[in-house]
Amino acid sequence: MNEPTAEPAFDRAAIRAFHFSRRSFDPATGTVELGYVLDDGRADAPELVETITVPGAPFALDPARAAAVERALGLLHALAGVSYYKAAVPPAITFAPGLAPDAATAAFLATVYEHGLGEFAYANGLSLKGRIAFPHATGGMSAAPALGLDGGALVAIGGGKDSLVSIEALRAAGVEQTVCWVGGSPLIRACAERTGLPTLAIGRQLAPGLFALNRRGALNGHIPVTAVNSAILVLAALLRGQAEVVFSNERSASYGSLIPGTGEVNHQWSKGWDFERMFAAEVRRLVAPDLAYYSLLRPLSELAVAARFAASDRYDAWFSSCNRNFHLLGEKPASRWCGVCPKCHFVFLALAVFMPKPRLVGIFGRNLLDEPGQAAGFDALLEFGDHKPFECVGEGRESRAAFAALAQRPAWREDALVQRFVREVLPVLEADETLRGQLDLAQHLVPAHDHGIPPGRWEPLRAIVGA
């Protein structure tokens, strides 16, 4: 019996350019096709085609809306390309005739690729600084006209605490909303349905050829997925006539991991304030000035979001912020918390400050703060002997303040890791004037001023989100 022939190794050095080959949208089916080629000089280099499907077709588009969709499609094509560019990180980027962005968008894209692939570059021993350049068409794009969008808000939901805080705040403010997600996660669907609001599940199918390249040794790693999902939701909002695209990224997302000898690497850069304001400006300029893109939780810390979530038990049996849950369990979302990853560690710690102990232990099925073997994971959150994990977790100063608060609570202070904090970590923090000043919990609950929430929306929401 013949053995199957092994696939040849992927030759990254042979790839001379990353090529944006084509894009299309069919309003009759709601289907988007995005084409890319890792150009190795062959005329028959295979095309990688990604497919996105927006439910609700057929879509009737007047000329102004159709033009806006075309521009949004261009933005999506460029941002989604990051999944394929990273396979080889070739020296050049090219576009098929008529597809290149203008100079302003080209500069924006280079920034997103460089910073959004920061963790990927670090993990693969690469330097992308100043290396990524997008070509651009001559002349600028004319300013996009207003479209008269008035269909409420399209709100991204990820199944975790943050998006649920936003959804409930918008509900309390009387905002018409549809909760939306990209992909087929049954856990997210169940959580979305628990809201009792209209839902929208957008399909996204990565090019199958990408997985074949990965098997052959193509470069792989973290991408700025929030940037891609933001562009997908902007397109969906346009098709549905909705005036707002709302995410739930808090201010802590703007702070990365400080790595000795490397500097800051932010796992969640595309959830940060820099990306939000740049992307929102692109949407206003290119797509529609009356389509608002913003994060409702931007003024808040992770701890402040945890405080708001803990105020209601509506989603205790439904939510999960554990990324390993999605990666490992697939179609079995009942086990919602792995209990050992950085997200589980941080969410447990943050909620412990604001939630009765029996309730929190009931959610997780265990008391993570009474497991001595998990000390190293919590030390990373504290930035104590290790850098902040490459995950969507709060700042080290928030974790330090949370532990300091729990050390004063009778319900928690006897737990193994809280005792360890008091014994081994707290003396080090108190010996440093700057670190000692960060231990007061109250300072981390004060809202920041930087955010992109529209003025008319912010004022009624301000009191609701506790800002």
CA pair distance 252, 304, nearest whole angstrom: 10
Judged against a pLDDT cut of 60, whether residue 168 lies above it is answered with yes
Q: What is the pLDDT of residue 97?
A: 95
Q: Is 457 a domain residue?
A: no
Asked if 85 and 179 sit in the same domain, the reply is yes
CA pair distance 245, 236, nearest whole angstrom: 9
Asked if 44 and 146 sit in the same domain, the reply is yes
Torsion angle in degrees (nearest 10) through CA of 262, 264, 268, 269: -110
**Confidence band of 328 (pLDDT split at 50, 70, 90):** very low
Query: What is the amino acid identity at position 27?
Result: P
Q: What is the pLDDT of residue 331?
A: 41
Give me the mean pLDDT over the 18-47 stretch.
94
Judged against a pLDDT cut of 80, whether residue 464 lies above it is answered with no
Q: Is 308 a domain residue?
A: no
Whether residue 282 contacts residue 292, with contact meaning beta carbons closer than 8 Å, is answered with no
Q: What is the pLDDT of residue 332?
A: 44
* Parallel, antiparallel or unpaired: strands 263-265 and 292-295: unpaired
CA pair distance 314, 12, nearest whole angstrom: 49
Judged against a pLDDT cut of 70, whether residue 248 lies above it is answered with yes
Judged against a pLDDT cut of 70, whether residue 5 lies above it is answered with no
CA pair distance 418, 368, nearest whole angstrom: 10
Helical spans, DSSP H, in 142-249: 161-172, 186-194, 208-215, 225-240
Q: Is 300 a domain residue?
A: no
Judged against a pLDDT cut of 80, whether residue 187 lies above it is answered with yes
**Cα 393 versus chain centre, distance:** 12
Return the SS3 of 34.
strand
Asked if 270 and 346 sit in the same domain, the reply is no
Judged against a pLDDT cut of 70, whether residue 350 lies above it is answered with yes
Distances (CA, A) of 352 to 271, 306, 356, 404: 24, 9, 7, 12
Kindly report the number of other CB atoms within 10 A of residue 117's CB atom.
25
- pLDDT-above-90 percentage for the chain: 76
Q: Is 278 a domain residue?
A: yes
- pLDDT-above-70 percentage for the chain: 96
Query: What is the amino acid identity at position 195?
Result: T
Q: Is 454 a domain residue?
A: no
Give me the mean pLDDT over the 135-150 stretch.
89
Asked if 76 and 34 sit in the same domain, the reply is yes
Give me the mean pLDDT over the 172-177 stretch.
94
CA pair distance 354, 347, nearest whole angstrom: 11
Q: What is the pLDDT of residue 335?
A: 67
Give me the mean pLDDT over the 299-309 stretch.
94
What are the tens digits of pLDDT across the range 98-107?
999 999 999 9
Q: What is the pLDDT of residue 321?
A: 86
Contacts (Cβ under 8 Å, ≥6 apart) of 322? 336, 337, 338, 341, 343, 344, 347
Asked if 214 and 347 sit in the same domain, the reply is no
Asked if 252 and 360 sit in the same domain, the reply is no
The model's pTM is 0.94
Q: What is the pLDDT of residue 151?
A: 84
CA pair distance 460, 219, nearest whole angstrom: 47
Residue closest to 164 by CA, chosen among 142, 143, 148, 179: 179
Asked if 334 and 417 sit in the same domain, the reply is yes
**Among positive and negative, which fits the CA dihedral 182, 185, 186, 188?**
negative
Give me the mean pLDDT over the 135-161 stretch.
91
Asked if 359 and 271 sit in the same domain, the reply is no
Q: What is the pLDDT of residue 457?
A: 81
Domain termination residue (choose one: 295, 329, 351): 295
Per-range mean pLDDT, top range of 214-228, 249-263, 335-349, 442-456: 214-228
Query: What domain range includes position 290?
Result: 12-295
Q: Is 463 a domain residue?
A: no
Asked if 344 and 244 sit in the same domain, the reply is no
Asked if 275 and 331 sit in the same domain, the reply is no
Give me the mean pLDDT over the 262-273 stretch.
87
Judged against a pLDDT cut of 90, whether residue 327 lies above it is answered with no
Q: Is 461 a domain residue?
A: no
Give me the mean pLDDT over the 445-463 stretch.
84
Judged against a pLDDT cut of 90, whether residue 261 lies above it is answered with no
Asked if 273 and 378 sit in the same domain, the reply is no
Token pair 């894009």 in the structure block, residue: 23
**Confidence band of 459 (pLDDT split at 50, 70, 90):** confident
Whether residue 251 contacts residue 300, with contact meaning beta carbons closer than 8 Å, is answered with yes
Asked if 236 and 370 sit in the same domain, the reply is no
Give me the mean pLDDT over the 21-29 stretch.
98
Q: What is the pLDDT of residue 449?
A: 86
Q: What is the pLDDT of residue 247?
A: 97
Contacts (Cβ under 8 Å, ≥6 apart) of 8? 216
Q: Average pLDDT, whole number, for the chain?
A: 91
Q: How many domains does the chain have?
A: 2
User: For 153, phi and psi rounded to 5 degrees?
Assistant: -110, 140
Domain termination residue (choose one: 257, 278, 295): 295
Q: Is 3 a domain residue?
A: no
What are the tens digits of pLDDT across the range 396-409?
999 999 999 999 99
